[in-house]
Amino acid sequence: MDAKKGEHPRQSRRERRIERRRREILTAAAQVFAQKGYAHTTTKHLAEAADMAEGTLYNYFEGKREILLAILNEMYVPIDALLENARPLSTRDDFVRIVENGLEIFVSQLDFTRALLTEIWVDDVILNDLIIGRLQYIGQAIRGFIARRIEAGNFRPIDPEAATLMILGGFIALILPVLRGKHPTPTAEERHRLAQTAVDLLFDGLRVRENQ
């Protein structure tokens, strides 16, 4: 129980094993939640998917709900990285790049995202954390970008609020069919093309410019 041969290696190895186990559980759980929805998933399902006994789950998580919240946490890291990257967001290419990165994140975390879909609308912690915390942050970045561009005379004086919502909605709509498994997951090239189309549409609209 006490130190032997230096504490680090031993503690560390144990911690690493625990961390590995937790991640195994989360990966498996995300798949099951994604397929059945949180409420319809039983701990038995989770245990089977993680290939362990039900009781073992409780050695790594406090309960079913905590597993879901841990999944939520897993998504923060790449999203925060994305936001960090997107901070400047000043040119059209910035926009393409951030949309592309966003698509990449969702694609690489499909199961985690899907897992949250059902409880998003119901669980206030998740809703506030994810939607309010992250999405609003993203929204602000976009709103700021638009406002600055309008001020600079590059963008038409459109209500930035509505525009932001539609941009986010458009982006979500692009991945929703994939999340629902109705579309195959797009390749890197497809993601690039999608991002360009999206930004193109947003910037220039559907209508033909008369004299260009």
Partner DNA sequence: CATGAATGAGTCTTCATTCAT
Partner DNA sequence: GATGAATGAAGACTCATTCAT
Binding site for a copy of itself (CB under 8 A): 36-40, 114, 117-119, 121-122, 127, 131, 146, 149, 153-156, 158-159, 162-163, 165-174, 176-177, 180, 194, 197-198, 200-212
Cβ neighbours of residue 2 closer than 8 Å, sequence gap 6 or more: none
Rg (CA), the chain: 21
Q: Is position 16 an interface residue for DNA (rule: CB under 7 A)?
A: no
Site for DNA in 151-190 (CB under 7 A): none
Residues 97 and 194: beta-carbon distance below 8 Å: no
Cβ 118 vs Cβ 74: under 8 Å: no
Task: Give the integer Cα–Cα distance in Å for 78 and 80.
Answer: 5
Residue 190 CB, nearest approach to a copy of itself (Å): 10
Q: How far is Cα 135 from Cα 60, in angstroms, rounded to an integer?
A: 29
Q: What's the token pair of residue 191?
A: 């993601």
Q: Does 125 bind DNA (CB under 7 A)?
A: no
Joined tokens for residue 84: 């960090």
Give least dist CB 19 to DNA, A. 10
- Site residues for DNA, 61-90, by CB under 7 A, read 63-65
Out of a copy of itself, DNA, none, which partner does residue 3 contact, by CB within 5 to 8 A per kind? none
Q: CB–CB of 96/115 below 8 Å?
A: no
Rounded CA-CA distance 144/90 in Å is 10
State the nearest-atom distance from the C-beta of 58 to DNA, in Å.
4
# of chain residues touching DNA (CB under 7 A): 20
Q: Considering only residues 36 through 65, tell me which ones interact with DNA, judged by CB under 7 A.
A: 40-44, 52-56, 58-60, 63-65
Residues that bind DNA (CB under 7 A): 14, 17-18, 21, 40-44, 52-56, 58-60, 63-65
